[in-house]
Structure 1
């Protein structure tokens, strides 16, 4: 065997490991920079950006783009069922994530995707909000007199069929024996989601809005503009999330969301402490 041929073999052998290492490194880099897509309930638009910023500042979130779509939980659920490529679903109720989990039965195959379970990450609360009528000093038990004092004043709630906050708002008005009367008088304005309900009330398009307390915390609403409703007066707004893909970073992000740091964000933003 010639000296030239031996040198050629040695050169090829030396190049092979380096080529293999570069390929693995490129694949790993691509995985880290793949966008994390989150479908989030509209009420999270005020608090989630801060949580994402802190998550990115942590080593686990370094370098990974995060893209969030805000809408009503029902609309997002329908999109996911239709094949929308989200990685994490943060609902405003427990029902939609539970349905997604039920639709994906556990498989014993090692090659199948991991089945992720729903988890509770926050508990929202309702508030009555107005920029046209002063609410300072009003007691929640006198809301009947407040809403029925003028036949021309309208109130907005999120669509109960699509938005969990709307469902709780409807249940609250029904418990106060107000919903049927207000509906008959065409004084209930149903918004597509809690974000739109807030906008209707915030711009004065309607006199009152049953909105998320977190929205009012975000804008630093003054005492005369809102009245926080007793949590026991409406169905608890327990918000669940679920990881719906095997995308890198999805589990890390939801772990951070449920961490002490993540939950502190929710408490500061006007959510109730999860028991």
Structure 2
């Protein structure tokens, strides 16, 4: 019996995932575990913070980033392997107040939540969107920053901000809210990339997870959770 318990625990994949992926990853975890018999343990945060944790030796097998930059840095350092581009993120304006819907609602909002652009790809995309629309200088003093896009979204849900510029994947989880999908040519592409870490490349089972991210079954989940194909 003891040997069976040890064997079961040896089939665990530890994943560091961008917080924008959480709704999708929760379903991925359920489907992948059921189909493979392998346990997924997922930790969430901003891509930049997870990147720094991995550099510091955090025990993750897979890093799922909301942009290409952090995986590319790990690849350059020889700390990541098998890059897999698997999804495209979408940016929305989200609010609980119907009078503040859309781009015009930003001008009337007192507090606008975005992810911290220093280490969150959705935050950088939000700031670039405001700059392209000529709104950044007008609105910059009203911006409130979440450590990641999930926290920025939570600011709106909790009433800490009137409006948020966040991921479509999170907006879809809150049907009481109102969202406006922003044109993808108005902000930098948000490309979600998965890589294996040094620890992960030593586990054969981790490659099965990367293969799952390329499967038709996974691709059918993307649209449901607000992502585009890569």
- On whether the aligned pair clears a TM of 0.5, the verdict is yes
Residue 10 of structure 2: aligned partner: 33
Distance 2:19 2:176 in 1: 19
Task: Find 2:22's aligned residue among 28, 39, 45.
Answer: 45
Answering whether residue 171 of structure 2 is matched by residue 197 of structure 1, we say no
Q: Is the 8 A contact 1:158 1:166 kept in 2?
A: yes
- For residue 116 of structure 1, report the CA deviation from its aligned partner: 2.2
- Name the SS of the counterpart of 1:219 in structure 2: coil
Q: Distance in 2 between matches of 1:221 and 1:271?
A: 20
Corresponding residue SS for 2:71:
helix
Aligned residues: 224
Gapped runs of 5+ residues in structure 2? Answer: none
The corresponding residue for 2:106 is 147
Distance (whole Å) between structure 2 residues aligned to residue 161 and residue 266 of structure 1: 27
Normalising to structure 1: TM-score of the pair?
0.76
- Computing the radius of gyration from Cα coordinates, the structure with the larger value is 1
Contact 1:42–1:70 (CA under 8 A) maintained in structure 2: yes
Contact 1:135 1:227 in 2 (8 A): no
List aligned pairs for 1:1-275, cutoff 5 A.
30=7, 33-58=10-35, 61-62=36-37, 64-104=38-78, 116-135=81-100, 138=102, 143=103, 145-149=104-108, 153-183=110-140, 186-221=141-176, 225-244=178-197, 245=200, 246-274=202-230
Cα distance, 1:56 vs. partner?
1.5
Contact 2:86–2:229 under 8 Å retained in 1: no
**Distance across 2 between alignment mates of 1:66 and 1:47:** 13
Query: Relative to total residues, which structure has the larger strand share, 1 or 2?
Result: 2
Counterpart secondary structure, 1:160: coil
Distance 2:8 2:55 in 1: 25
Moved over 4 A (4+): none
Deviations 1:41-81 (A, max 9, x none): 001111101111111121xx21x322111000000000000
TM-score (norm 2): 0.90
